[in-house]
Amino acid sequence: MASILILILLWILYFGIHSVFASYAVKKRFQKLFPGLNRFYRTIYIFFSIAGLAVIFLFQASLPLSQLYCTNTLSTFVGLSLASFGLMIVIISFSYYDTAEFLGLRQAMGDLKEQGFTKEGILNYVRHPLYSGSMLFLVGYLFLAPNIVNMVSVICMIIYFIIGSYFEEKKLI
């Protein structure tokens, strides 16, 4: 039980740090403190986001797994279907985003112009297709690997996606 609480706290800490460093206030503060590194902010942010996820996933992999139920053909089919559909949405979504900008590569090369707001393709139907696709993928994954540890992580991530989309909407306005 203590390890599950630590996992939840790691997710809360990760999401808190992730959100703080995504805020305009912190970006502006970074610009003032390190004017020569401004163009690398997004790349640094992505690097630390991936590193943080790696730490959590490594911790999660060390935990004992308590199965929620035994998988069967139906759960495998549902899991693969949801995960595949979610992954398709994520892949399609990236075709409407500037991937180099998303990863911070364009900014690192000195191009600080932002892509801006768009309503093309999938973005005409779903405001946050990366979140939506990721949530479907995670639920599908949970059907494929139904254990307490995965359930806790999936719930934490979905809650964050829902809260994050709310605040992202406010930023877009």
| 112 confidence band (pLDDT: 50, 70, 90) | low
The average pLDDT across 73-87 equals 97
On the question of pLDDT at 22 being above 90, the answer is no
| 110 confidence band (pLDDT: 50, 70, 90) | confident
Sign of CA dihedral 12, 13, 14, 18: positive
* 143 in Cβ contact with 78 (< 8 Å): yes
Cα distances (angstroms) measured from residue 147 to each of 39, 162, 170? 42, 22, 35
pLDDT tens column, 48-58: 999 999 999 99
159 membership: H or E segment, kind and range: helix 148-172
Residue with tokens 């409407």, as numbered in its chain: 96
Q: pTM of this prediction?
A: 0.84
Tell me the average pLDDT of the chain: 88
pLDDT tens column, 113-155: 665 666 777 777 777 888 999 999 999 999 999 999 999 999 9
The average pLDDT across 91-112 equals 78
Q: Higher pLDDT residue, 34 or 136?
A: 136
Spatial separation of the C-alpha atoms in residues 118 and 158, rounded to whole Å: 24
Could you please report the per-residue DSSP string of 48-64? Answer: HHHHHHHHHHHHHHTSP
